[in-house]
Structure 1
Amino acid sequence: MPIIDIVQGDITTQRVDAIVNAANSSLLGGGGVDGAIHRRGGPAVLAACRALRDTTLPDGLAEGAAVATTAGELPAKWVIHTVGPRYSRRDDRSHVLRSCYRRSLEVADGLGAATVAFPLISSGAFGWPQDDAVLQAVEAVGRTRTNVDVVTFVAFDQLVADLLRSAVR
């Protein structure tokens, strides 16, 4: 199991091998973390995503799947894009959310990444309750066999940082 670190701040400034992007299925940028990563990563990230769409992912990236691109101008080497599920009260999609973390770590292993930074996937515009998103994230990372040495959860505010710290204890 990797060491779990928690920081509050901007995921685009993390000096890690791979930054995980809470992407939309088009891979072409959007709001929130996705938009920030595309802006800070520069044209190389968008070009790599377009190349994926033109070749192996013509229909976009499926929920729960993960794929890597260059990190462009970000301080990381790679961006691992994953598409989280939208929250639904009627349909338990937690297995898909956990898959985002598991598949991202599998991609990181394939890259040889030793350090990976995650946002709290699906907790913004996709409406997942933050407390449950934290539990799903910590459980998924804890149960995934990986060669990654350090997983950093990057919280966008103090509340999420506190929830993460409580869940990791």
Structure 2
Amino acid sequence: MTAQSVKDSTFLQQGDNSKFVVGTYILSTFLNGDFIGRRVITLTQDGNFFAIDSNQGGTKGVPVAAQSFPNNRFTDGQGVWKVNKSGEIVATAFNFNFPAPDSTASVTTARADYRFTFDSTTQTVEGKFEIRTFDLTKNPLDKNEPVGEGEPFTFSFTGQRVTVDE
């Protein structure tokens, strides 16, 4: 199998025929207006969604606002995305949270729900995502499942599409 290049101007039509460029974006994320880190998201043409976060290695060395979380030990996120009828991009991704090494807590599942807009002129995105955590034995797709204390956590973000200069 040979990899095929995708032209930079490739657009994906979804929902109400909104145009959205698939690709990778680097985000600045905020909690209550305070910078908490960077996140990289990738939206594939077939509807897959991937996320990685600068805080997922723990609380040491992360911005002060991110240190308020009890434990930042989590995996990359994976999920799906689409353009809804109002032209927003919506995505749902899942990851796993691990307790601190000296903790007796259990692994949990986190669900992140994104809503954002895309500016084709500036190749930028802006929006919000909410994170909820669930007991590992529970179904995070079930809207009736209880979530972690104080949740959901709501974050805002801005971002720029990543491109390669020739």
| TM-score for the superposition, normalised by structure 2 | 0.32
Which structure's relative contact order is higher, taking Cα pairs within 8 Å and 6+ residues apart? 1
**Higher strand proportion, which one?**
2
| TM-score for the superposition, normalised by structure 1 | 0.32
**Higher helix proportion, which one?**
1
